[in-house]
Amino acid sequence: MRTIKYIVVHCSATVEGKDFNARDIDRWHKQRGWKGIGYHYVVKLDGTIEVGRPENVIGAHVKGYNSKSIGVCYIGGLSKSLAPKDTRTPKQKTALYNLLCELKDKYPKAEILGHREFSKDLNGNGIIEPFEFSKACPSFNASLEYKNLCD
Of the candidates 6, 39, 74, 146, the residue annotated as catalytic is: 39
On the CB side of 135, CA atoms within 13 Å amount to: 18
Question: Does the active-site annotation cover 115?
Answer: yes
* Cα 49 → chain centroid: 13
Question: Does the active-site annotation cover 39?
Answer: yes
Question: Does the active-site annotation cover 10?
Answer: yes
Of the candidates 10, 29, 40, 44, the residue annotated as catalytic is: 10
Of the candidates 5, 68, 91, 135, the residue annotated as catalytic is: 135
Of the candidates 29, 74, 115, 146, the residue annotated as catalytic is: 115
* Residue pair 10/137 in contact by the 8 Å Cβ criterion: yes
SS3 40: coil
Q: Is the dihedral of CA 4, 8, 112, 22 positive or negative?
A: negative
The amino acid occupying position 15 is: V
Give the active site residues: 10, 39, 115, 135, 137
